[in-house]
Amino acid sequence: MTAAGTHEVPRMLTKGRAYFVDPGERLRLDCQFFMETFNLFDNPVVWIKTQLGERRQMNMMGNLVEPFESTRRFRVTFEAQRPTFTLGLLIEGTLISLSNY
């Protein structure tokens, strides 16, 4: 909540993209947003994986959740350069899968 008593909404800076990678390739996804009074505990930022109509949350803040943690194929990063923030997801490719992140 801002000093004026209104809720501030993050503004997305990253535009949507399509990625085409070969099996075994590494991919880094970044989601950049702008917010003056961002607090990670009040505004959790998460990656959502969608595959074959199923949606699953991949992380809670900087920590991966199961089953993504145990695969050791994913790593979440968070960079704060106030008022710009970047949530990153590094994916180590091993198998072909059709997913949207």
Helix H, strand E, coil C: the string for the chain is CCCCCCCCCCEECCCCCCCCCCCCCEEEEEEEEECCCCCCCCCCCCCEEEECCEEEECEECCEECCCHHHHCCEEEEEEEECCEEEEEEEEECCCCCCCEC
- Percent of the chain at pLDDT exceeding 90: 21
Q: Quick: pLDDT tens for 59-86.
A: 987 899 999 999 888 999 989 898 998 9
Domain range summary for the chain, segments of one domain joined by + = 23-92
Q: Looking at the predicted structure, is the pLDDT value of residue 8 above 80?
A: no
Q: What is the average per-residue pLDDT within 91-98?
A: 67
